[in-house]
Structure 1
Amino acid sequence: MSASEPSSSPGFSESDNSDPGTFSDEMVFHQQLKNVLFDVEVPEGLKASVLESLQQDGAGDVVRDHSPGSSRTRFHKRPSTIAGLSACLLFVALLTFFWAAQQPVIALSEFSPEQNPEFNLDSRLLPDFDDNFSAKLPPQGAWHSKDRLALIGDKFYGVSTSQSSAHDAAVGFFRLRMGNAQPVFVALVQIPVHRVEPLPSQTGFDTGSVEYAQLKKGNYATVKWVEDDRVYICIVFGGPRELEALGRALQSASA
């Protein structure tokens, strides 16, 4: 070979020189993959088991291949890799869908002390919430305020009314300070909307829509509403006076 002849570069051929737009398309594809992966809400433990099974089948070798010999063009030459990743994402999404669909729908009355006297509202007998969905306080009102209305223990407890292995609802207990008077105690239950029927007609805390109960274990005032993707059930330990005090506290902070 003469000095004027260009030397061939090992490992790369002229056909490997892809169009710059190809790399841009690959970046868009990777970003879409990442968005899908992080947007899918997967039950705890499901993602780990799927990834473990994929590693046993050898699919994990594709993800771990970061050697210098790998190239973007090699990735484009393996359409089966793209198809495999897409199938894995679809498989995880389908598992999540079927897992949610198999969760039982619960009657709204199961979470009401006036309709279900066996409903447990003793925090000493409830386990910590298992976080199978993200517990969150209502956006409207003073539920996030720690001035007069405070979440006791800064934690949620789990409630199960069905045979599901996961908790059906999360409940937080609040203390409303009343100056020199005895504080008012409140339980706030929340359930994802797809787990409850029928849904309440109210879209916010409204003392005009309330149910009262006088049971052996105490008096209760219950208000139910739908807000965002949650059904909230507020149970005040007391009667009209305690309920009105909570209503004033929520309205004064949100005004």
Structure 2
Amino acid sequence: MNASESSRSPEYSEPDHTVSDSFADGPVFHSELKRVLFEVDVPENGKQGVLDALAQSGSDATISTDQLPVSRRTFLKKPGTLVGLSTCLLFAAVLAFFWVTRQPVIPLAKLSPELNLDSRFMSEFDRNFATSFPAQGGWHQKGLLNFIGQTYGLSISESVVHDAAVRFFRLSSGKTRTVYGALLQIPASRVSPLPTLTSFDPGKVEYTQLGKGNYATVKWVEADQVYVCIVFGGARELEALGRALQSTAA
């Protein structure tokens, strides 16, 4: 029997060969092979070549981690895609800006005592525009008018922000009489048409009689703001307020 025939002995089986191959691919086999390499003399650079070959078993992880930078480079090589994405983002930002800032115009006639000026149902002003007292007259003089509570916000239109700022005040007039009123402020760009008056003038007044009481209203435009003074009462209450403001201005 020759050598080739002796290699085909009945003791050799295919399953044993498969198990050997699996063992050769395992970490135990690699460790054992490395140990033998350092104990056996091999040609120059031969040992390093085998070790490098064994290191290729971890190449799959290296390739998978390098795929992301390659995909980013591929994406950056497409300027049309970047320009399109940037344009879409800019367009969305512009739409959002105009959606928030675009507010409907309020008719001047709506700024009247018919508004619900019950502070119990009003919230604090959201400060979407700068508030200030009228420059003319004594509105800003301390001690003349006693402003009650905080500055409230009034929603007149379907705007997502408050349309007007409201301050409630009282004026002591004599020993027994007190004048109560409200001062509304709204940007002039939100009102149409603008009032014809440019200052508080009690001689130009609108009187309104409602089920909840009598009211006197004066509207004027000052700089870029429209002011509306609503006095809870009639001519006598409005005249008392006018005298107080004019005396301070003089």
TM range (shorter): 0.5 to 0.7
Equivalent positions of 1:59-138 (< 5 A) are 98=98, 102-113=102-113, 117=114, 119-138=115-134
Determine which of 134, 137, 147 is the counterpart of 1:151: 147
Report how far residue 147 of structure 1 moved. 1.8
Structure 2 residues without counterparts, runs of 5 or longer: 1-89
Corresponding position of 2:193: 198
| Secondary structure, aligned partner of 1:138 | coil
The 1-side partners of 2:108 and 2:117 are apart by 16
| Secondary structure, aligned partner of 2:141 | coil
The 1-side partners of 2:234 and 2:221 are apart by 22
Corresponding position of 2:166: 171
| Secondary structure, aligned partner of 2:123 | coil
Distance 1:132-1:181 versus aligned 2 partners, 3 A rule: same
Determine which of 204, 211, 231 is the counterpart of 1:209: 204
Aligned residues, how many? 160
Task: Give the alignment's Cα RMSD to 1 decimal.
Answer: 2.1
Tell me, yes or no, if the aligned pair for 2:124 and 2:152 is still in contact at 8 Å.
Answer: yes
Tell me, yes or no, if the aligned pair for 2:100 and 2:160 is still in contact at 8 Å.
Answer: no
Report how far residue 217 of structure 1 moved. 0.5
Structure 1 residues without counterparts, runs of 5 or longer: 1-89
Report how far residue 151 of structure 1 moved. 1.2
Deviations 1:65-116 (A, max 9, x none): xxxxxxxxxxxxxxxxxxxxxxxxx99xx78983576210011111112xxx
| Secondary structure, aligned partner of 1:242 | helix
Corresponding position of 1:226: 221
Say yes or no: does 1:247 pair with 2:242. Answer: yes
Deviations 1:118-140 (A, max 9, x none): x1111111111000001111011
Structure that is richer in helix per residue: 2
| Secondary structure, aligned partner of 2:245 | helix
| Secondary structure, aligned partner of 1:174 | strand
The 2-side partners of 1:142 and 1:99 are apart by 38
The 2-side partners of 1:110 and 1:125 are apart by 19
Deviations 1:184-225 (A, max 9, x none): 001000100000001000000011111001111011000000
Give the TM-score of the pair, scaled to structure 1.
0.59
Misfit runs of 4+, over 2 Å? 94-101
Say yes or no: does 1:142 pair with 2:138. Answer: yes
The 2-side partners of 1:233 and 1:133 are apart by 16
Give the TM-score of the pair, scaled to structure 2.
0.60
